[in-house]
């Protein structure tokens, strides 16, 4: 584990709340209401955020939005290198996705590989009319042609940095942290 | 406020076994990981599209030297739902009928580069022999009177579904313990998970020294074993493995060691009845009980697919880590 050089708070509790409220409004605006809209969070951070988003949306529209979760472990393209270190989580989509406008929710958008895997998983549940992507943080460095429709905060990062979303005991997001780690070159110099 | 680092909390559990030959070889943590994965796999089996791409491009050979409906179908379905290519070989269609030895058959199969060989064989320990000869992973689908690890795991999953736990439960296993690989795997698994196992069966079918396997009590009668039991697991009378001398008649066996609605009342009112199948109706299990509310026989079969998916997944992921 490289030494952590600095920690910066990108979003605090209030920042996250404002970002989620704005995303909730944007989802409603883009889809002209809630007709056929469902939220699907990606395990594990995205699941908590999807639940928070659904609460936001309900308080705006006075209407519940169906919310599910998807685990992408079995759909990863790096099974050969990462599978042994991940336990398989649970997917729970208790409604049909056929013809729905699905909003995928994740905490951090990075290479886009998680989203690719999640889309493969979604399509195994039915044929959605549309799939949109909502993320709390977009940190760049995409490796696939994937773009978020709703972004809480764009954060330019280097690959040596890491972005963490922290949750409290009630699984509510409380802060987004950018950690700068000493890269190998630095270590050699030190 | 205490903060949780959710992203780092993803469990870094690792399955460290290339083969699954017996539950005796697995730790409590290994079994917990397999059961947890199986619970997640179950969701796939309830979808419209029952397939995930995880083991795409891998080849699994089901090599069954003994007849099987449930286990072979279940392993085949498990492999297919994980997108692996599964091939079934049974003795009647293989070169075993021409006198080829097990080692030769296995080495020839290996030349076709399978990733996993799932084998059932009548000789106890044949899987250990093969695991030293082959490079690929081997999963035991039943070897003689030794172990049947996938059955043990699916039984544990079914019990865990019902009670939410395995520790502190009284599990009665009744029947031909000597010839039962199901009993051995369940004893190894359940005692390690904290259950107390009570065994009952005719003295001719009770292996000496079985109580040394762990938290196991050998009972002198079926009544003693099933009284207040949380789980009553009935074993099939394996007439193909027994000599003629182990019991006088099936009617007498049924009278002393068969489960019927009357003696089931001795167990706890919410006790679950299990049987690894195939059932000899009217011998070890009366039809009333087999089809009754307390029977979990079909639930066991259902869980079998999920458990075997978990086994294939973890054996493959271990191989990747090397």
pLDDT level of residue B13 (50, 70, 90 thresholds): low
End-to-end CA gap in chain B: 41
Helix (H) and strand (E) counts in chain B:
12, 9
Edge-to-edge strand ranges of the sheet holding A101-109: A67-70, A37-42, A101-109, A130-138, A150-154
Q: Which of A132, A117, A7, A136 minimizes the C-alpha distance to A72?
A: A117
- Mean pLDDT value of segment B191-198: 96
User: How many beta-carbon pairs below 8 A join chains A and B?
Assistant: 89
Q: Looking at chain B, which residues constitute the CATH 3.40.50.1370 domain(s)?
A: 14-148+302-321, 149-299
- Using left for φ > 0, alpha for ψ between -120 and 50, and beta otherwise, residue B250 falls in alpha
Indicate if the alpha-carbon torsion angle B265, B271, B276, B279 is positive or negative. positive
CB-count burial class (<10 Å; 0-12, 13-18, 19+) for B215: middle
pLDDT above 50: residue B285 = yes
Q: How far is A26 from chain B (nearest CA, A)?
A: 27
Cβ–Cβ gap B39/A90 under 8 Å: yes
Model confidence pLDDT, tens digit, residues B106-129 = 999 999 999 999 999 999 999 999
Which token pair is B73? 């179908």
CA atoms within 13 A of residue A75's CA, in its CB half-sphere: 23
Edge-to-edge strand ranges of the sheet holding B85-89: B85-89, B59-64, B116-121, B137-143
What's the ipTM? 0.79
Can you tell me the distance from the alpha carbon of B144 to that of B128, in angstroms, rounded to the nearest whole number?
13
Can you tell me the distance from the alpha carbon of A121 to that of B33, in angstroms, rounded to the nearest whole number?
23
What is the average pLDDT score of chain B?
90
% chain B with pLDDT above 70: 93
DSSP B295: B
CB-count burial class (<10 Å; 0-12, 13-18, 19+) for B162: middle
Whether residue B95 is preceded by a cis peptide bond, meaning omega within 30 degrees of 0, is: no
Task: Flag the least confident range among A79-83, B85-89, B131-135.
Answer: A79-83
Can you tell me the distance from the alpha carbon of B155 to that of A24, in angstroms, rounded to the nearest whole number?
45
Nearest to A87 among B33, B82, B318 (CB): B33
List Cα–Cα distances, A105 to A50, A167, A173, B265, in angstroms: 6, 15, 13, 51
Model confidence pLDDT, tens digit, residues B200-212 = 999 989 999 998 8
Cβ–Cβ gap B10/A86 under 8 Å: yes
Q: What is the pLDDT of residue B132?
A: 93
CB-count burial class (<10 Å; 0-12, 13-18, 19+) for A159: exposed
Which class does domain A13-158 fall in?
alpha beta
Chunked mean pLDDT (size 10), chain A, 190 residues: 77 94 96 95 92 95 94 82 66 92 96 94 93 95 96 92 90 89 47
Can you tell me the distance from the alpha carbon of B138 to that of B134, in angstroms, rounded to the nearest whole number?
8
The answer to whether B257 faces chain A, any CB pair under 8 Å, is: no
All structural domains of chain A with their residue ranges: 13-158
What helix, strand, coil percent values describe chain A, rounded to 5?
35, 30, 35
Query: In chain B, which among 9-38 make CB contacts under 8 A with chain A?
Result: 9-15, 33, 36-37
The answer to whether A86 faces chain B, any CB pair under 8 Å, is: yes
Can you tell me the distance from the alpha carbon of B30 to that of B53, in angstroms, rounded to the nearest whole number?
24
Indicate if the alpha-carbon torsion angle A16, A18, A20, A22 is positive or negative. negative
The answer to whether B318 faces chain A, any CB pair under 8 Å, is: yes
The architecture CATH gives domain B149-299: 3-Layer(aba) Sandwich (3.40)
Q: What is the pLDDT of residue A85?
A: 54
Cβ–Cβ gap B5/A164 under 8 Å: yes
Can you tell me the distance from the alpha carbon of A122 to that of A93, in angstroms, rounded to the nearest whole number?
9
Model confidence pLDDT, tens digit, residues B235-274 = 998 877 666 667 888 889 999 999 999 999 999 999 999 9
The answer to whether B52 faces chain A, any CB pair under 8 Å, is: yes
- Mean pLDDT value of segment B37-51: 91
Edge-to-edge strand ranges of the sheet holding B231-234: B216-218, B196-200, B170-174, B231-234, B272-274
Which token pair is B79? 């492999």
- Mean pLDDT value of segment B7-12: 45
The architecture CATH gives domain B14-148+302-321: 3-Layer(aba) Sandwich (3.40)
Q: What is the pLDDT of residue A1?
A: 56
């Amino acid at each position: 584990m490289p030494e952590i050089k600095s920690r910066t708070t990108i979003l605090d509790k209030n920042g996250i709340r404002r970002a989620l409220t704005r995303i909730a409004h944007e989802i409603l605006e883009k889809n002209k209401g809630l007709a056929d809209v469902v939220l699907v969070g990606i395990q594990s951070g995205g699941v908590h955020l999807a639940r928070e988003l659904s609460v936001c949306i309900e308080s705006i529209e006075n209407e519940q939005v169906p919310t599910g979760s998807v685990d992408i472990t079995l759909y990863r393209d790096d099974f050969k290198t990462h599978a042994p270190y991940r336990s398989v989580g649970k997917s729970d989509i208790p409604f049909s996705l056929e013809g729905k406008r699905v909003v995928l929710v994740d905490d951090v958008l990075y290479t886009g590989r998680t989203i690719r895997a999640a889309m493969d998983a979604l399509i195994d549940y039915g044929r959605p009319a549309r799939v949109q992507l909502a993320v709390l943080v977009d940190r760049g460095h995409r490796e696939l042609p994937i773009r978020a429709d709703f972004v809480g905060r764009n954060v330019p990062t280097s690959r040596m940095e890491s972005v963490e979303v922290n949750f409290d005991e009630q699984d509510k997001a409380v802060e987004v942290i950018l950690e700068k780690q000493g890269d190998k070159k630095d270590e050699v110099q030190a | 406020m205490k903060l949780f680092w959710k992203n780092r909390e993803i469990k870094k559990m690792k399955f460290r076994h290339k083969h699954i030959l017996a539950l005796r070889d697995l730790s409590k943590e290994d079994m917990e990981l397999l059961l947890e994965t199986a619970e997640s796999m179950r969701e796939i089996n309830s979808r419209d599209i029952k397939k995930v791409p995880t083991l795409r491009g891998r080849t699994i050979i089901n090599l069954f030297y003994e007849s099987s409906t449930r286990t072979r179908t279940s392993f085949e379905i498990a492999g297919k739902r994980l997108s692996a290519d599964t091939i079934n070989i049974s003795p009647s269609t293989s070169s075993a009928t021409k006198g080829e030895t097990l080692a030769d058959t296995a080495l020839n199969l290996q030349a076709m580069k399978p990733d996993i060989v799932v084998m059932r064989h009548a000789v106890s320990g044949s899987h250990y022999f093969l695991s030293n000869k082959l490079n690929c992973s081997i999963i035991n689908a039943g070897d003689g009177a030794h172990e049947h690890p996938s059955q043990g795991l699916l039984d544990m999953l079914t019990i865990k579904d019902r009670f939410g736990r395995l520790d502190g439960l009284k599990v009665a296993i009744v029947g031909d313990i000597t010839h039962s690989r199901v009993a051995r795997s369940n004893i190894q698994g359940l005692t390690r998970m904290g259950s107390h196992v009570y065994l009952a069966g005719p003295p001719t079918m009770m292996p000496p020294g079985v109580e040394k396997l762990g938290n196991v009590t050998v009972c002198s009668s079926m009544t003693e074993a099933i009284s207040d039991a949380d789980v009553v697991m009935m074993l099939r009378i394996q007439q193909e493995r027994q000599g003629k001398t182990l019991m006088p008649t099936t009617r007498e066996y049924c009278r002393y060691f068969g489960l019927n609605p009357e003696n089931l009342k001795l167990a706890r009112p919410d006790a679950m009845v299990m049987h690894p199948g195939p059932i000899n109706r009217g011998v070890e299990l009366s039809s009333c009980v087999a089809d009754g509310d307390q029977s979990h026989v079909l639930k066991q079969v259902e869980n079998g697919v999920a458990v075997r998916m978990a086994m294939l997944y973890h054996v493959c992921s271990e191989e990747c880590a090397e």
